């Protein structure tokens, strides 16, 4: 700067009339998008459901014509299909072996076709309780099957191997390559259709329902009807209801007529055993929600509070004791394992009586 010339102070940028007007337009646009039409179910769908972009993490392909591009699974409902995972780290395609991941479809009562998978472990458990059970997983919001099948990470195939039993999962309506529109009622119809399909395919097996985040609401909704074959429920980072997420009182007794995902009102109707796992650093769904649901359980088991875990890391594989706790639930605390223990106790008691005689 030339000598003798003083630097002029730079004034802070003050928003002008145009800037304020643009921000108002953006706010009005957001409000109109969310609130129009003013129907609670539509507003809930816009606020609560955020599926990943279709094709971002996987695509489906007919085995007879792998290069054919499909909009959703409805286009190949009667064809043998495979799921091609897109490796997020390098963009390469990856296909799990048919032994590891089997793909099938289910049609819901709302006429939506869902992409479903069965992941099989390398070795099945020798524990009779575990061998009589399979797991049905309800995934969190901003994810789809491809996100949970990424190679070289903690994925559904890993879960099957950890739990030593078949592990089922599916994409909700409007997610991935499932047809239809995402929504609360569709999600409840989705899990019911998949559950009934598993019961049809595996009538000799009992089912453990496992829900994560928004998936816990689907798990609670189905479990509260106590369907035949239900052996237990695992809820990971659950919340009491949609509106209670914005309240400092997750255990508020009265439910607003416009509320959604009302697990708080349903969970006390579940007859089977329920395990709740929650991170103490969860900022998306505070731990208080999980504890409020725990207090309403009819048949609780000791919950798992994961110290240091937040909403995204609790099931990432960083906290291995989450998986060991769930595995223990399958072996010792589910309806099947409890009955096995009762049978063993009765047989032992009978044997002792016979020996004494």
Active site residues: 213, 282, 311
Task: Centre a 10 Å sphere on the Cβ of residue 16 and count the other Cβ atoms it contains.
Answer: 9
Instruction: Measure Cα distances from 32 to 25, 28, 38, 246 in Å.
Output: 10, 6, 9, 21
327's tokens: 């595995």
Mind giving me the DSSP string for 237-296? Answer: S--S-TGGGGSS-TT-SPPPTT--S-HHHHGGG--S-EEEEEETT-SSS-HHHHHHHHHT
* 224: helix, strand or coil: coil
* 28: helix, strand or coil: helix
CA dihedral sign, ordered 179, 183, 184, 185: negative
Instruction: Return d(Cα 169, Cα 171) in angstroms, integer.
Output: 7
282's tokens: 């969860």
Radius of gyration (Cα) for the chain, nearest Å? 24
Helix or strand (DSSP H, E) at 10? none
Instruction: Return d(Cα 279, Cα 281) in angstroms, integer.
Output: 5
């Amino acid at each position: 700067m030339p000598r003798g010339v003083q630097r002029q102070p730079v004034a802070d940028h003050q928003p002008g009339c145009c800037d304020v007007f643009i921000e108002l337009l953006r706010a009005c646009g957001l409000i109109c998008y969310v609130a129009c039409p003013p129907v609670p179910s539509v507003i809930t769908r816009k606020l609560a459901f955020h599926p990943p972009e279709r094709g971002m993490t996987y695509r489906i392909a007919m085995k007879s014509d792998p290069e054919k591009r499909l909009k959703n699974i409805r286009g190949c409902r009667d064809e043998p299909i495979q799921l091609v995972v897109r490796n997020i780290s390098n963009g390469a395609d990856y296909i799990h072996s048919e032994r590891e991941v089997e793909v099938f479809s289910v049609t819901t009562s709302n006429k939506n076709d869902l992409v479903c998978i069965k992941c099989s472990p390398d070795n099945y458990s020798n524990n009779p309780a575990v061998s009589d059970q399979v797991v049905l997983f309800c995934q969190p919001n901003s994810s789809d099957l491809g996100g949970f099948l990424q190679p070289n990470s903690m994925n559904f195939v890993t879960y099957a191997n950890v739990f030593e039993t078949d592990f089922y999962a599916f994409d909700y309506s409007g997610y991935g390559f499932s047809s239809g529109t995402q929504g609360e009622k569709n999600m409840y119809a989705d899990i019911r259709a998949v559950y009934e399909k598993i019961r049809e395919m595996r009538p000799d097996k009992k089912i453990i329902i496992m829900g994560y985040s928004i998936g816990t609401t689907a798990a609670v909704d189905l479990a509260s009807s106590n369907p035949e074959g239900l052996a237990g429920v695992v809820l990971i980072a659950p919340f009491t209801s949609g509106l209670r997420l914005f309240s400092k009182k997750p255990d508020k007794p009265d439910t607003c007529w416009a509320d959604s995902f009302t697990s708080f009102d349903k969970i006390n109707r579940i007859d089977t055993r329920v395990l709740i796992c929650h991170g103490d650093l969860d900022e998306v769904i505070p731990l208080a929600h999980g504890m409020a649901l725990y207090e309403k359980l009819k048949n609780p088991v000791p919950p798992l509070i994961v110290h240091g875990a937040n909403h995204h890391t609790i099931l990432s594989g960083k906290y291995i004791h989450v998986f060991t706790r769930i595995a223990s639930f399958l072996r010792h605390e589910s309806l099947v394992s409890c009955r096995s223990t009762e049978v063993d106790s009765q047989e032992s008691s009978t044997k002792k009586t016979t020996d004494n005689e």
